[in-house]
Amino acid sequence: MHPGLPGSAVPEWRPRRLASVATLCRAWRIMSRAAADAEGALLDIRIDNLESPEVIALLREHLDSIAPTAPAQSRHALDLSGLRGPDITFWSIWDAQVLAGFGALKRLTRSHAELKSMRTAASHLRQGVASTLLQHMIQEAAARGYSRLSLETGSMVFFEPARRLYSAFGFVPCPPFGHYAADPHSVFMTLEINALATEHAAMGLPDV
């Protein structure tokens, strides 16, 4: 029988089960990453020696912008010499010839790395730069055999966009790690890379 015609059977209405919060969060994260992939398709990510004037200027801007947010002993951003250390890999991300941002990985142990110095240039805010670079660094951490990637960021409103980004990629709050101590100015987050890969495999998705 055809719906709407005389004598047609009316389909039985059944309530649909609402998706769980966890499912919705995963879906939002996947869509966010897909958007970042599209927006970041033309961005060039490269290992950087921190010698270009553009990178040095953006690093200075980064350090100056966070200086008012906490006392000196509660600020853990690395300066130029710190980012050139042997345990650091530093990437810059470029839009053609324009610097769009940078970020770094610090080796803590054979299985544990720390995310450092994430910064997006003001000219490229809300254009998928941070998501593109973060996805790249998670991939690199996995390729290097790290099973855990952790970070320290500020607890203030200034750092709220960063905390949202990390949460969207699966980072969750954790206790202080490495040399850090508990501090009201700090939020510590971590990502189990193996667990993330397992989740994606179960959902039929590529690893990030």
Q: Where are the domains of the chain?
A: 42-203
What pLDDT tens digit does each residue of the chain (208 aa) get? 444 444 544 444 444 443 344 444 454 455 445 554 544 458 999 999 999 999 999 999 999 988 888 777 888 889 999 999 999 999 999 999 999 999 999 999 999 999 999 999 999 999 999 999 999 999 999 999 999 999 999 999 989 999 999 999 999 999 999 999 999 999 999 999 975 544 444 444 444 3
Cβ neighbours for 95, distance < 8 A, ≥ 6 positions apart: 42, 43, 44, 124, 129
Work out the number of other CB atoms within 10 angstroms of the CB of residue 18. Answer: 8
Q: Please state, in angstroms and rounded to a whole number, the distance separating the CA atoms of residues 196 and 59.
A: 30
Q: What is the pTM of this model?
A: 0.73
The β-bridge partners of 44 are 94
- CATH number of the structural domain 42-203: 3.40.630.30
